[in-house]
Amino acid sequence: MLALERKNQETIFSFLSRSNLQFCGTHNRCPLKSIKNPTKTQPQSPGGHIAGSPPSRGLLTRCEKKVFLLAKWAGLRYNNADLVVILFATAWRRLRFAPLPASALWHEELILGGYQMKRFTVVFSVFLVVAWSGTVWANSAPVVSSVSANQRGDDSKLVDIYYDLADADGDSCTVWVVISDNNGLSWSVPAITCTGAVGAGIAPGSNKHIIWDAGRDVPGKIGDFKARVYADDGKGDPMVLVSAGSYKEDGGLNWVFVASYMIGKYEVTNAQYAEFLNDADPTSQHWVTTMEIGRSGSSGSYSYTPVEGKEQYPIRYASYYDAEAYCQWKSQITDVNYHLPDKYQWQKAAAWDPVQQKFWTYGFQNSTIDCNWCNYSNCKGGPTQVGYYNGVNPGTNNAASFYGCYDMSGNVWEWTTEVWSGTYRYGRGGYWSTPGGACVVTYTSTDNRFSVGSRYDKVGFRIVME
């Protein structure tokens, strides 16, 4: 789905030993980037719609664009959701299944207004099949607004954060907070000890309340901070929340703190990558014939379709630059910051169990490996669909990491931003033909260093949002 699924709103507050100062609300938007010549994605301030403003129009698929153009010719006005109702209402009448339900009749009149039904019928007759095969259904994104934060005026060192959460579909959301002490350049201040309307299952509503125990998370720290509240309704590309906190590699000496972020539950698929190509790559800068994605048309207007049966397989033959271009495109259409994971984000999502305080050897909460746990050592003779090892498919265990990520070991190597040297980056997790040792989360050797400009049949990627 290309509709925006995540919003944030942020506020500035001051934290002193004892104070309860005023705050000022702020809101930043991501600068739009060109993806013609992608460079390394730099951290940037994610954004959303300014409170009170209408959301940006979700991107239309190519199919919807055709309907849109002809509908414009017919003199109709609609948005994505309205188009669904129009198509549904007209199809019902033209196919003469039964009288329209009252609600559909009312909405149809509301949309069409004084336009003649006959005029739209012409449009529908031509494009019924095309439109029905396109992606038309839309889910409304959650909206976070009216964020405020104040330190309590006592010795508790607690910070009260309030926000409003709206979701037109009534979806419950996962909500989390990130904190910056450098005006949003980075979001590395630990915000671990949070209670109240935070975490999974938060219903839409006003004046939601989060309590952050800043005295526990950042003892002795004072100054100006920026708090940002995120909400995700889980209806876009499947992603999981990795909460802020520290982890330690198995046998490691140092604890590493990682701020909250979302990471793809699965590797990016051929179907998802084809959406990117169709919307942003009419000249095939980020496509090659070896991908499991077919191409038709001519340069400047190419169209892309995943090979039948391979839609949910991981994209392969995508270079590091291709993967960055995908992230930049996704950031542009959502006003949210997407990028490839760094070493620590990837490792924590793959192997850390905060309940047991344990760093697992492999990316599926286990320290042993066999063909029931992941696709390695030619268990399947090639890549599998993402999330295949789910405990439901024959001969599989439920091989999710603690946070809910699949295929963190095996299937395809995954690009990270971790630099080996020069223009080489590390891939993580092993692939379908590697021995078990290469599927160890911390594995580092000569065979998982990849040139950023090259395309490999064994390398894919997953994305991070923060």
pLDDT digits (tens, 9 = 90+) for 245-260: 999 987 778 899 999 9
Q: Which residue has the higher pLDDT, 89 or 465?
A: 465
**Cβ 314 vs Cβ 386: under 8 Å:** yes
User: Using alpha carbons only, what angle is made at residue 373 by residues 368 and 376, rounded to the nearest 5 degrees?
Assistant: 90
Q: Which residue has the higher pLDDT, 222 or 288?
A: 288
User: Using alpha carbons only, what angle is made at residue 149 by residues 171 and 172, rounded to the nearest 5 degrees?
Assistant: 5
Phi and psi at 437, nearest 5°, equal -60, -30
Tell me the CA distances in angstroms from 333 to 6, 133, 143, 147, 182, one per residue in order: 11, 22, 16, 24, 27
d(CA 185, CA 183) in angstroms, rounded, equals 6
Q: What is the mean pLDDT of residues 13-40?
A: 38
Which range has the top average pLDDT, 14-28, 310-324, 327-341? 310-324
User: What pLDDT is attached to residue 16?
Assistant: 59
pLDDT digits (tens, 9 = 90+) for 127-184: 223 333 333 346 788 999 999 999 999 989 999 999 999 999 999 999 999 899 998 8
Residue 319 token pair: 């270079």
